[in-house]
A and B are shown apart, each in its own frame.
Chain A
Amino acid sequence: MLRVIVRRLLQLVVTLIALSALIFIWLRNLPGGPVDALLGERATPETRALLTKALGYDQPILVQYAKFMQRVLTGDFGNSIRTGEPVTEVIGRAFPATIELALAAMIIAIGLGVPLGYLAARYRGRLLDNLSIAGTLLGISIPIFFLGYLLKDVFTQNIHWFPPSGRLSTGLDNTNVTGFFVLDGLLTREFDATADALWHLILPAFTLATIPLAVIVRMTRASVLDVLNEDYVRTAEAKGLRHKTIRGRHILRNALLPVVTIIGLQTGALLSGAVLTEKVYNWGGLGTLITDSISGGRDYPVLQALILLAALVFVVVNLLVDLSYAVIDPRVRVR
Chain B
Amino acid sequence: MSDPITRPGVAAPRDGADPTGTGERPASATERGIGRLGDRKKARLDELARASADKGGVSLVRDAFRRLRRNPVAMFGAAIVAVFILVAIFAPLLAPHDPAQRFDELTKNLTVDSIPGASSGFPLGSDPLGRDFLSRLIYGSRQTLFVGVLATLIGLALGVLIGAVAGAFGGWIDNILMRFTDVMLALPALLLAISLVAMASKSSQWTVILAVAIVNVPIFARLLRGSMLAQRESDHVLAARALGVKQRSIVLRHMLPNAMTAVIVQATLTLSTAILEAASLSFLGLGDPDINRAEWGLMLGVDGVRYFEVRPELAYYPALAIIVVALGFTLLGEGMREAIDPKNRR
A–B contact (CB under 8 angstroms): yes
Spell out A's residues near B (CB within 8 Å): 11, 14-16, 18-19, 22-23, 26-27, 30-32, 36, 124-125, 129-130, 133, 136-138, 140-143, 145-146, 149, 153, 157, 211, 215, 218-219, 221-222, 225-226, 261-262, 265-269, 271-273, 275-276, 279-280, 290-291, 293-295, 298, 303, 307, 310-311, 314-315, 318, 322
Q: What are 28 contact pairs spanning A and B, CB under 8 A? A: A15-B183, A26-B199, A27-B199, A31-B201, A130-B21, A137-B331, A141-B272, A141-B323, A141-B327, A143-B280, A145-B301, A149-B308, A153-B309, A153-B312, A215-B6, A215-B8, A218-B11, A218-B15, A265-B7, A265-B12, A271-B191, A272-B190, A275-B190, A275-B191, A294-B198, A294-B286, A314-B186, A318-B2
In the complex, A36→B199 CA distance in Å? 13
A146→B304 contact, CB < 8 A: yes
Which residue of chain B lies nearest to A36 when distances are taken between CB atoms in the complex?
B201
Which residue of chain B lies nearest to A129 when distances are taken between CB atoms in the complex?
B21
Q: What is the CB-to-nearest-CB distance from B178 to chain A, in angstroms, rounded to a whole number?
A: 11
B17 within 8 A of A: yes
Contact A310/B191 with A149-B308, A262-B12 known, Cβ cut-off 8 Å: yes
CB-CB under 8 A from B216, the residues of chain A are none
Within 8 A of A (CB), among B298-346: 300-301, 304-305, 308-309, 312, 315, 319, 322-323, 326-327, 330-331, 346
CB-CB under 8 A from A141, the residues of chain B are 272, 276, 322-323, 326-327, 330
Which residue of chain A lies nearest to B322 when distances are taken between CB atoms in the complex?
A143
CB-CB under 8 A from A153, the residues of chain B are 308-309, 312
Contact A30/B199 with A141-B272, A141-B326, A322-B2 known, Cβ cut-off 8 Å: yes
Question: Closest 4 A-B residue pairs measured CB to CB?
Answer: A269-B8, A272-B190, A268-B188, A218-B17
Contact A307/B187 with A149-B308, A272-B8, A276-B283 known, Cβ cut-off 8 Å: yes
A-B contacts besides A137-B330, A143-B323, 16 pairs, CB < 8 Å: A36-B201, A141-B276, A146-B304, A146-B315, A153-B309, A219-B17, A262-B15, A265-B1, A265-B3, A265-B6, A269-B188, A273-B8, A291-B285, A294-B284, A294-B286, A303-B195
Which residue of chain A lies nearest to B329 when distances are taken between CB atoms in the complex?
A141
B226 within 8 A of A: no
CB-CB under 8 A from B72, the residues of chain A are none
B191→A211 contact, CB < 8 A: no
Q: What is the CB-to-nearest-CB distance from A175 to chain B, in angstroms, rounded to a whole number?
A: 32
In-complex Cβ contact of A221 among B17, B186, B280 (8 A): B17
Q: What is the CB-to-nearest-CB distance from A42 to chain B, in angstroms, rounded to a whole number?
A: 15
Which residue of chain A lies nearest to B199 when distances are taken between CB atoms in the complex?
A26
In-complex Cβ contact of B323 among A26, A138, A157 (8 A): A138
A307→B191 contact, CB < 8 A: yes
In the complex, A222→B201 CA distance in Å? 44
B248 within 8 A of A: no
Q: What is the CB-to-nearest-CB distance from A101 to chain B, in angstroms, rounded to a whole number?
A: 15
B92 within 8 A of A: no
A30→B1 contact, CB < 8 A: no
Give per-residue flags for B1-29: 1 if the beta carbon is below 8 A from chain A beta carbons, else 0: 11100111101100111111100000000
Contact A157/B17 with A137-B327, A307-B191 known, Cβ cut-off 8 Å: no
A275→B284 contact, CB < 8 A: yes
B186→A15 contact, CB < 8 A: yes
In the complex, A225→B283 CA distance in Å? 38
B15→A15 contact, CB < 8 A: no
B21→A222 contact, CB < 8 A: no
